[in-house]
Amino acid sequence: MAAQGLKKTIVLKGIGVSPGVACGKAFPIDHRPITIPYIEISDRDFLEKEVARFIRALDSSTAELEAIKNKLDAEEGIGPLIIEAHVMILRDTGFIRSTIETIRKRGINAEWALELTLSRYRDVFGRMEDVYLKDRIRDVEDVVHRVLRHLLGAGGEAISDIKEEAIIVAHDLSPAETVQMKGKNILAFATDVGGKTSHTAIVARSLSIPAVVGLENITKKVRKEDKLIVDGTSGVVIVNPDQETVRRYEDKKRHYRILEEDFIKGAGLPAVTKDGRGIGVGANIEFVEEIPSAIYHGANGVGLFRTEFFYVNREQSPTEEEHYEHYRIVVENKDIKWATFRTFDLGGDKFISDPRLAEEMNPAMGLRAVRYCLREPDIFEVQLRGILRASAHGNTGIMIPMISGLEEILEVKKIIEKVKDNLRARRIPFNEGIKLGIMVEVPSAAMVADALAREVDFFSIGTNDLIQYSLAIDRVNEHVGYLYRPCHPAVLRLIRYVVEAGHRAGIKVAMCGEMAGDPFCTMLLLGLELDGLSMTPLAIPLVKRIIREATMEEAKKLVNHVMGFDRTDQIEEYIKDYMRRRFPDYCAVADVE
Ligand code: PEP
Ligand code: MG
């Protein structure tokens, strides 16, 4: 490819996790752990220079925080208060004196002295009983990190520093950081690590921000202000593209827009196959602000509201009143026929401020979701009260994540009964017939689906985790991304088993993992007889169109055929070929190559 000016064009291939094309300037954010140098200094003059260097780094960090605070001052919420607290730590005389004394007495460099100050703070905070106070060590760590970056000349830019349109380039982004992109001028992002079903990727899709992850070393190849093209549909990032490439991608962008507009036209029509089977198509959302987009893209309801994002980037858990008002906005919307609120699924690769969770060795298999709720019933009950109260205003369901066996759902049901009694005693209205369902996303739950089906009103299969746990693949690890195969025969057999168990017990079985929104799998899922599919709003128009043009007869035939294969690649090849012949135009849009 030709070079643009003096800068070399580089094409990088990663995993496209949020579709769309963006073209803009790079804004690198670097928060990889810093290597702290240890230097012994014997010369007194040099030690004083070290002290002066430390004070300069404190001043620059304070000025940086003041600038951020001025920008945030007009905003409500916790942001300005956190910045204020960080400035106070920077000005704390104990913090400053302790570091300066360590430089002088031990004859060492400022970075190492600062690290020793931090470890003393860690000891003090670690001995505190109160979980909230104990957790404040995170603020001290953030402040120390900022000062270290200034000492090492590494800069400290963050998402909150972005003023103009930009493409974020980072080693990794947490879901909490990705949420901060909401309403900012972020055109796209590209990261070294990550996987398609990580929560960072899910948030990117919900915010309609094109994203490519798993690029391995983009942070080493991109400098601030480099021009980038991010193609989140095909997983390509082009650094310093020439004019011709930019034109080609602008065309591609237009092309997607035209096709999307075409699909949107039929998005409101019902998802009914040609031979009359209706499928409930819902939207997966994380924020109430996504509701207009869900409706625009043709969702009949909300099949999965990931409520844990309501807990993100705040110091205190939401109150009952906040939950209630929040969920009420969803259920009262006249275009939303039903809304399923998944109780909070914190832990795993998501945000959590509880240090007991943060320190777990393997959080995906740790104190996550319902396990955390049963450990902390007080927090759980607050949310349940909020959902139950919202149920008085519209068709509402409660869905419990990460159920692994019967005991857990029985315990949850007891808690729900207690919460209902409490509301009855307070004469607060709620829907007595509110539906209770579970996510089937742990293989053990799938295997005892018959027993679980007797206890609940519906199932929703969470393939993101079901695949992660049944195939033993970390969903956020780009190195094993190639093993993440929804069409693995084991996954298909588990899905079929769960659907059959649910139907035998007379309950509906839906799917809300990312597989539900993959048009390549739509015929397969129809043939597996799922009753509902819930997906990211952007995926709805195409999936609905395929459903409307299909028959159950052909879908079942396809399933019968592929269930005879033992190998994933045979199944994938067969389906790809089938879909390409059956829906050639749609496959072009969905990048089924
Ligand atoms: C799933 O696991 O498939 C799912 C929908 O839940 P989450 O992606 O939030 O874990
Ligand atoms: Mg899950």
Least confident of 88-97, 144-153, 535-544, 545-554: 144-153
- % pLDDT > 70, the chain: 90
Q: What distance in Å separates the CA atoms of residue 510 and residue 458, rounded to the nearest whole number?
A: 8
Among all ligands shown, which has an atom nearest to the Cα of 284? 1
Better-predicted residue by pLDDT, 142 or 250: 250
- Report how far ligand 2's centroid is from the alpha carbon of 7 (Å): 43
The tens digit of pLDDT for each residue in 2-23 reads 344 456 788 999 999 998 899 9
Q: What distance in Å separates the CA atoms of residue 270 and residue 545, rounded to the nearest whole number?
A: 9
- Report how far ligand 2's centroid is from the alpha carbon of 222 (Å): 33
Is pLDDT at 400 greater than 90 in this prediction? yes
Better-predicted residue by pLDDT, 559 or 366: 559
How long a stretch of residues is the chain? 593
From residue 433, alpha-carbon distances to 126, 295, 430 in Å are 46, 26, 9
The tens digit of pLDDT for each residue in 153-212 reads 765 566 766 778 999 999 888 776 787 787 788 999 999 988 887 878 888 888 889 999
The tens digit of pLDDT for each residue in 328-382 reads 999 999 999 999 999 999 876 655 545 445 555 577 888 889 999 999 899 999 9
Q: In what order do the strands lie in the sheet with 211-213?
A: 10-13, 236-239, 227-231, 21-29, 166-170, 186-191, 211-213, 15-18
Q: Is 0.85 surpassed by the pTM of this model?
A: no
pLDDT at residue 1, rounded to an integer = 39
pLDDT at residue 424, rounded to an integer = 97
Is pLDDT at 582 greater than 50 in this prediction? yes
Ligand 1, atom nearest to 345 Cα: 9
Q: Tell the residue nearest (CA) to atom 3 of ligand 1.
A: 462
Q: Positive or negative CA dihedral for 336, 340, 343, 346? A: negative
Q: Tell the residue nearest (CA) to atom 4 of ligand 1.
A: 462
pLDDT at residue 146, rounded to an integer = 83
Q: Are 221 and 12 in contact (CB under 8 A)?
A: yes
Q: Tell the residue nearest (CA) to atom 1 of ligand 1.
A: 462
pLDDT at residue 77, rounded to an integer = 52
Q: Tell the residue nearest (CA) to atom 5 of ligand 1.
A: 513
Among all ligands shown, which has an atom nearest to the Cα of 349? 1
- Choose among 208, 82, 195: nearest CA to 143: 82
Average pLDDT in the 512-529 region?
A: 96
pLDDT at residue 154, rounded to an integer = 62
CA 11 to chain CA centroid, Å, is 26
Better-predicted residue by pLDDT, 525 or 60: 525
Kindly report, as residue ranges, where domains of CATH 3.20.20.60 are found in the chain.
Answer: 279-435, 441-593
State yes or no: is 512 an active-site residue.
yes
Q: Are 323 and 386 in contact (CB under 8 A)?
A: yes
State the catalytic residue, choosing from 199, 323, 326, 393. 199
Range among 127-136, 145-154, 166-175 rated most confident: 166-175
- Report how far ligand 2's centroid is from the alpha carbon of 438 (Å): 11
pLDDT category of residue 394 using cuts at 50, 70 and 90: very high
Is pLDDT at 592 greater than 70 in this prediction? no
Kindly report, as residue ranges, where domains of CATH 3.50.30.10 are found in the chain.
Answer: 10-30+163-262
Is pLDDT at 79 greater than 90 in this prediction? no
279-435 has CATH 3.20.20.60 classification: yes
In this structure, the number of other CB atoms found within 10 A of the CB of residue 153 comes to: 7
Close Cβ partners of 565 (under 8 Å, ≥ 6 residues apart): 489, 571, 574
Kindly report, as residue ranges, where domains of CATH 1.10.274.10 are found in the chain.
Answer: 44-152
Ligand 1, atom nearest to 401 Cα: 6
Residues with CB under 6 A from ligand 1: 202, 304, 306, 345, 441, 462-465, 512-513
Q: What CATH number should be reported for the domain whose range is 441-593?
A: 3.20.20.60
Q: What CATH number should be reported for the domain whose range is 10-30+163-262?
A: 3.50.30.10
pLDDT at residue 197, rounded to an integer = 79
Is pLDDT at 244 greater than 70 in this prediction? yes
Ligand 1, atom nearest to 197 Cα: 8
- Report how far ligand 1's centroid is from the alpha carbon of 99 (Å): 45
- Report how far ligand 1's centroid is from the alpha carbon of 465 (Å): 6
Q: Which of 342, 441, 463, when mutated, tests ligand 1's pocket best, judged by the most ligand atoms within 8 Å of its CB?
A: 441
Domain 44-152 top-level CATH class: mainly alpha
- What pairing do the DSSP bridges indicate for beta strands 10-13 and 236-239? antiparallel
